[in-house]
Amino acid sequence: MKLIIAIVNNDDSAVVASALTLEKFSVTKLSTSGGFLMVGNTTLLIGAEENDVPRVKEIINENSRKRDHTAPSVSSFGRGTNKHELSEDATVQVGGAIVFVLSVDSMDKY
Ligand code: 2BA
């Protein structure tokens, strides 16, 4: 069994999750934030059999768009919590999706 961790844009998360559940994959959505832009994104947890991993990745890829995002970046400039020090604008390409695949020893449901 594998655990797929997918970080997707908030605007894509409902479509990605729906597409996965339509094909009978189970999904857990977590509200998360990126450490660089400090804006919200969505992390999906998907437990799946190893032979289903390519299809899960395909669904995520088909439903995740790349976007340019311009925002004041905090952490990349090593600055802390003083808002007056924060902003130098950064434009970065975000996504489509960041996908990690981890091996899972077991999954139990009690
Ligand atoms: P953020 O950390 O907010 O990063 C947003 C985008 O900013 C990234 O898009 C990337 O284009 C850029 N970026 C991130 N860190 C950077 C840095 N140190 N210097 C310059 N540019 C940087 P994506 O690569 O598509 O990542 C989207 C989100 O996925 C990230 O949001 C973060 O939440 C997550 N992520 C990406 N790579 C990760 C990793 N290796 N480990 C954990 N989370 C990751």
Structure tokens at 110: 């009690």
Work out which ligand 1 atom sits closest to the CA atom of 76.
Answer: 18
Determine whether the shortest distance from the Cβ of 72 to ligand 1 is under 6 A: no
pLDDT tens column, 1-50? 999 999 999 999 999 999 999 999 999 999 999 998 889 999 999 999 99
pTM, to two decimals: 0.90
Residue nearest to atom 41 of ligand 1 (CA): 98
Measure the CA–CA gap between 9 and 29, rounded to whole angstroms.
Answer: 12
Determine whether the shortest distance from the Cβ of 94 to ligand 1 is under 6 A: yes
What b-and-e string marks burial along 40-68, b requiring 16 or more CB atoms within 10 Å of the CB?
A: ebbbbebbbeeebbeebbebbeebbeeee
**Residue type at position 47:** G
CA distances from 72 to 14, 87, 100 (A): 27, 5, 27
Residue nearest to atom 32 of ligand 1 (CA): 34
pLDDT tens column, 56-95? 999 999 999 999 988 775 555 455 555 445 557 778 999 8
pLDDT score for 90 = 77
